[in-house]
Structure 1
Amino acid sequence: MSTYRFAARAGVVLAVAGSAVLLAPGLASAHVTAKIIGEPAVQGGYTKITFRVPNEDATAGTVKLEVRFPQEAPITSLRTKPQAGWSAVITKAKLDKPITSHGTEITEAVSTVTWTAAAGTRIGPGEFAEFELSGGALPETDQLVIPAIQTYDSGKVVSWDAPPPAAGAEEPEHPAPVIKLTKKSEGGDDHAAVAPASTSDTKTGHTEAASATGSDNTARWLGGAGLVVGALGLGLGAGATLRARKAVAAAKAGK
């Protein structure tokens, strides 16, 4: 069997095996999760939280998501990102013990955020959606556990509220979304992270622009590196082609 045919058959076998793993019932399920994408979540700072909501029902669709923020680790201000076909409501609750944020006494914090689908809108079978929140200040804790309640148009309700398991323990069937928080660096300039909740859109835009500039510089560096590697590859390819032609010419001359 030629090397080419062996590699081709091996590729087919691996592809089939990979598909089988992906389709296995134990790995096909997904959970409602919370992520901090593109930046660290710093204690005392401000960030964007993305809730990823997969639809796990084969026939029904998700029409409501409610996330609950712990009052023992309060967040005082949140804003929702518009989501086509969905309405969002932020509810606050009075704190048992007021906290001080940037010199201001805070007596209430976000309790729940609820997204509800309009008529004809849902997250269908085999689909997922993402819901985004922006705000803070983030509490001074290592992790923030945010239970989520997922409601389907069939009436089924799934509570993703199990706390994180202890080290070495198995993951619960319905784990609550969790985000990890890092401590603020001493002497560091975390201006964007600790901006007050009343920060204007102009300042927020500046922060996002700075982040975009950093990403753009990284992309340019990677692009330049790719061009260099590509040029080296072309040079090696051209050299190999030239040597092959010389070998063929030499062989013809020797006949």
Structure 2
Amino acid sequence: MKTFVLRSALLSGAAVALAILPSAPASAHVGVDAPDATKGGWSTLSFRVPTESDTASTTELTVAFPEGVDFEYVATRTKPGWTVTKADGESVTWTAEKGYAIAPGEFDVFDLRVGPLPTDADTLEFPATQTYSDGTTVAWDQPTPESGEEPERPAPVVTLGEASEDGHGAHGADSDDTSSEAADADSSSGGVDGWLVAGVAVLALALGALGASLIRRRPRNR
């Protein structure tokens, strides 16, 4: 009887702990992160590329630059297993070498350093084309309407923040992104760790309550 009660308490505590953990995003598509993007500044653009196919791998990604925007500086981060082709300031293409394609159920990140960013725009769209090993291509190029309702194949969008008081954002080809990236990683990790600690605390409380209940039920010696 005690074993059954203990097992039930453990399962209930685990269920509560899992219930308070954050859930995974409901959809996956090619997107971009650029937390340091400001008007007139420089930014590292990180394109997230998930493989949504169940049978084919992602072998190529092409990112087109926003229409009417001519960046003075474009650099790609070194990425083993992928070759890079730049098309005259219009686009960048990453092509996987043998054994480096993104398998089904996996994702990868491709980084660009660009600048300066325009000062007369609030957002920038970077249409992307994803190519699979079976020859299928997916164009992520649909604009998101002002209503905010996401289309089926949205183009990656970068939102530009306002420039700092000196008129510049984070800029320069030699700017070190390591500290900001590390801070973002620590922040993300800290959020997940916080949820895990909360779940363990809930489980510990459930076990404590069970122990107290069993002690109260133990027959006294006469």
Q: Residues 70-89 of structure 1 correspond to what in structure 2 (within 5 A)?
A: 70-89=66-85
Shift of 1:17: 6.8
Q: Residues 25-174 of structure 1 correspond to what in structure 2 (within 5 A)?
A: 27=26, 29-36=27-34, 39-92=35-88, 110-140=89-119, 141-167=121-147, 169-174=148-153
* Length-normalised TM-score, structure 1: 0.61
Q: Distance in 1 between matches of 2:60 and 2:33?
A: 19
Kept in 1: contact 2:32–2:157 (CA 8 A): yes
1:7 to 1:184, Cα distance in 2 relative to 1, 3 A = farther
Kept in 2: contact 1:43–1:182 (CA 8 A): yes
- The secondary structure found in structure 2 opposite 1:208 is coil
Shift of 1:47: 1.5
Kept in 2: contact 1:66–1:113 (CA 8 A): yes
Q: Distance in 2 between matches of 1:209 and 1:84?
A: 20
Partner of 1:8: 10
- The secondary structure found in structure 1 opposite 2:90 is strand
- Higher relative contact order, structure no. (Cα contacts within 8 Å, ≥ 6 residues apart): 2
Q: Distance in 2 between matches of 1:209 and 1:173?
A: 32
Shift of 1:40: 2.2
Shift of 1:182: 1.0
- The secondary structure found in structure 1 opposite 2:11 is helix
Q: Distance in 2 between matches of 1:70 and 1:15?
A: 44
Shift of 1:165: 2.5
Partner of 1:252: none
Q: Distance in 2 between matches of 1:87 and 1:210?
A: 23
Partner of 2:155: 176
Q: Distance in 2 between matches of 1:154 and 1:18?
A: 40
Q: Distance in 2 between matches of 1:209 and 1:114?
A: 22
Shift of 1:61: 0.2
Q: Distance in 2 between matches of 1:175 and 1:209?
A: 27
Q: Distance in 2 between matches of 1:210 and 1:66?
A: 25
Shift of 1:16: 7.3
1:147 to 1:8, Cα distance in 2 relative to 1, 3 A = same
1:41 to 1:57, Cα distance in 2 relative to 1, 3 A = same
Shift of 1:14: 4.7
Q: Distance in 1 between matches of 2:9 and 2:159?
A: 43
1:209 to 1:41, Cα distance in 2 relative to 1, 3 A = closer
Q: Distance in 2 between matches of 1:13 and 1:211?
A: 37
Q: Distance in 1 between matches of 2:161 and 2:137?
A: 33
Kept in 1: contact 2:43–2:171 (CA 8 A): no
Which of the pair is proportionally richer in strand?
A: 1
Partner of 1:193: 170
Asked which structure has the greater CA Rg, the reply is: 1
Q: Distance in 2 between matches of 1:142 and 1:79?
A: 23
> Could you list the runs of 5+ residues in structure 2 that have no partner in the other structure?
191-222
Shift of 1:72: 1.8
> Could you list the runs of 5+ residues in structure 1 that have no partner in the other structure?
93-109, 223-255
Q: Distance in 1 between matches of 2:153 and 2:96?
A: 23
Q: CA RMSD in A?
A: 3.4
Kept in 2: contact 1:73–1:144 (CA 8 A): no
1:15 to 1:152, Cα distance in 2 relative to 1, 3 A = farther
Q: Distance in 2 between matches of 1:128 and 1:18?
A: 26
Partner of 1:208: 176
